[in-house]
Amino acid sequence: MVRSTRTTPLVYVDDSLDSRDTPMTGQPRYKKILLKMSGEVLMGDALFGIDTKTIESVAEDIKEVVDAGVELCLVVGGGNIFRGVSLAGKGMDRASADYMGMLATVMNALALQGALEKAGVYTRVQSAIPMDAVCEPYIRRRALRHLEKGRVVIFAAGLGAPFFTTDTPAALRTAEMGCEALFKGTSVDGVYTADPKKDPTAKRYDSLSYHDVLAQDLKVMDASAIALMRDNHIPIVVFSIRERGNFMKVLKGQGVFTTIA
Ligand code: UDP
């Protein structure tokens, strides 16, 4: 597998060698993982909100992974509804705007819970901002017990603290729950040299080191999330969750993705 290191320049894959060549084992490569999705994934082709067809498709993908016996945690962002930084940029107090953003992640978590339960997956939502009438508060040991029982745990409201996005809470819960990898499901099938939607010559990286991502300031996840995964030696797998069936494929080491380790 082609990968970049600290001592060599970043290396991107070409068509003759990429993650499609990873041997197919037919088995998931990890037994316990966290999937982080940005809120934008849930809006499908719309410009705002939640697209029911998209969320149903994501729920089916998640079901496939849970049915294979993988313990799964979820963190979903809120960018399809509200991002604190956008109103803060227009003069609103940043902390208040961020609390609104955290509430948006709770709405997405509830939407995802509904779609998953409709698909036959048992779930629990735990919020870092306690809201007893809606979901459980975040309690680490209880979350671990849910996972043991085969329930998907959806972590909402980020860290419960402003001045963060959901990247860092996703990394933190990955480490706290003892997950073996952090999967980042996006609308792009990996990390590219440039935005592939704007630059047709952009190349996808097959693998990168944490250092590459931080030193080159590649916009994969917030630096604090990358550093947390680096310090705890937990790989990050970036893939597209928009294609039906892709989550399971990538979990088996098949298909197209970028690994950061
Ligand atoms: N947020 C926060 N603290 C957290 C997690 C989230 O303040 O620990 C707020 C922040 O305003 C953020 C918003 O919630 O912009 C939605 O999360 P995010 O931007 O990560 O959503 P995504 O881009 O993944 O859809």
CB distance 92 to ligand 1 below 6 Å? no
Residues 158 and 166 sit within 8 Å (Cβ to Cβ): yes
pLDDT tens track of the chain, all 261 residues? Answer: 445 433 333 445 533 334 444 444 689 999 999 999 999 999 999 999 999 999 999 999 999 999 999 999 999 999 999 998 888 888 999 999 999 999 999 999 999 999 999 999 999 999 999 999 999 999 999 999 999 999 999 999 999 999 999 999 999 999 999 999 999 999 999 999 999 989 999 999 999 999 999 999 999 999 999 999 999 999 999 999 999 999 999 999 999 999 999
The CA–CA distances, whole Å, from 177 to 33, 106, 169 equal 9, 20, 12
Residue 95 has phi, psi (to 5 degrees) of -65, -45
φ, ψ of residue 66 to 5 degrees: the values are: -65, -40
Q: Which atom of ligand 1 is nearest to the CA of 160?
A: 8
What single letter denotes the amino acid at residue 12?
Y
Does residue 162 line the site of ligand 1, with CB under 6 A? Answer: yes
Q: Match 């990873």 to its residue by tokens.
A: 22
The verdict on the CB of residue 127 being under 6 Å from ligand 1 is: no
Q: Identify the residue whose tokens are 């089916």.
A: 60
Torsions phi, psi of 231, nearest 5? -65, -25
Q: Is the CB of 165 under 6 A from ligand 1?
A: yes
pLDDT at 19: 45
Query: Could you identify the atom of ligand 1 that is nearest to the CA of residue 40?
Result: 25
Q: State the pLDDT at residue 25.
A: 60
Atom of ligand 1 nearest to the CA of 166: 20
Ligand 1 centre and the CA of 245: distance in Å?
Answer: 27
Phi-psi region of 186 (alpha: psi -120 to 50; beta: other; left: phi over 0): beta
Give the β-pairing of 258-260 and 236-240. Answer: antiparallel
Mutate to test the pocket of ligand 1, among 105, 155, 167 (most ligand atoms within 8 A of CB): 105
Concatenated DSSP letters of 139-203 = -HHHHHHHHHTTPEEEEESTTSSSS--SHHHHHHHHHHTT-SEEEEEESSSS-BSS-TTT-TT--
Distance 144 CA to ligand 1 centre (A): 24
Report which ligand 1 atom has the smallest distance to the Cα of 80: 25
149 CA distance to ligand 1 centroid (A)?
29
- Give the atom of ligand 1 at the shortest distance from the alpha carbon of 83: 15
The per-residue pLDDT for 88 is 82
Nearest CA to ligand 1 atom 23: 79
CB of 79 closer than 6 angstroms to any ligand 1 atom: yes
Instruction: Decide whether any atom of ligand 1 lies within 6 Å of the 158 Cβ.
Output: yes
**C-alpha of 40 from chain center:** 11
Residue 245: CA count within 13 A, CB half-sphere: 2
Can you tell me the distance from the alpha carbon of 221 to that of 238, in angstroms, rounded to the nearest whole number?
10
Q: Ligand 1: which of 37, 47, 48, 102 to mutate, judged by most atoms within 8 Å of the beta carbon?
A: 102
Q: Which fold has domain 2-260?
A: Carbamate kinase (3.40.1160)
- The answer to whether 70 and 33 are in contact (CB under 8 A) is yes
Tokens of 78: 């809120």
Atom of ligand 1 nearest to the CA of 165: 20
